[in-house]
Amino acid sequence: MQEACDALFLAAGDVALTLEQLSEASGLAAEQIAVLVDYGVLRAQGDEPARWTFSASAVVMAKRGGRLARHFDLNPEGMALALIQMERIAELERRLRWLECALPSESQ
């Protein structure tokens, strides 16, 4: 069920959420979201928190961070570090799959 909800948020990519809306949708406090913005995990449009807007995909990332924080008792900085590393691993896995597809098959 969670994956279906995440897919719906990703499909609504052009939706702009305020900090308050992102906080409500993700379950994270505004201060936790601010840390994720400071560390570059979330991208906020706007020059100050009161004017920040986020894409719908930020909800998925913030929810993932919240789950990590709850399950592993992470502070906001630890949550940001874990999310950064998880994204890095996902990117490396995508590259590995691409490289594996580019290799000649063994049957030739």
The tens digit of pLDDT for each residue in 12-69 reads 556 899 999 999 999 999 999 999 999 999 999 999 999 999 998 999 999 999 999 9
pLDDT-derived band at 87 (thresholds 50, 70, 90) equals: very high
- Which is higher by pLDDT, 35 or 11? 35
Q: What is the pLDDT at residue 82?
A: 97
Instruction: Find the radius of gyration of the CA atoms of the chain.
Output: 17
Partners of 18 in the beta sheet? 53
Exposure string over 64-90, b if 16+ CB within 10 A, otherwise e = bbbebbeeeebebeebbebbeeeeeee
**H helices of the chain, where?**
2-11, 19-26, 30-38, 57-72, 76-102
Strand-pair category, 53-55 with 16-18: antiparallel
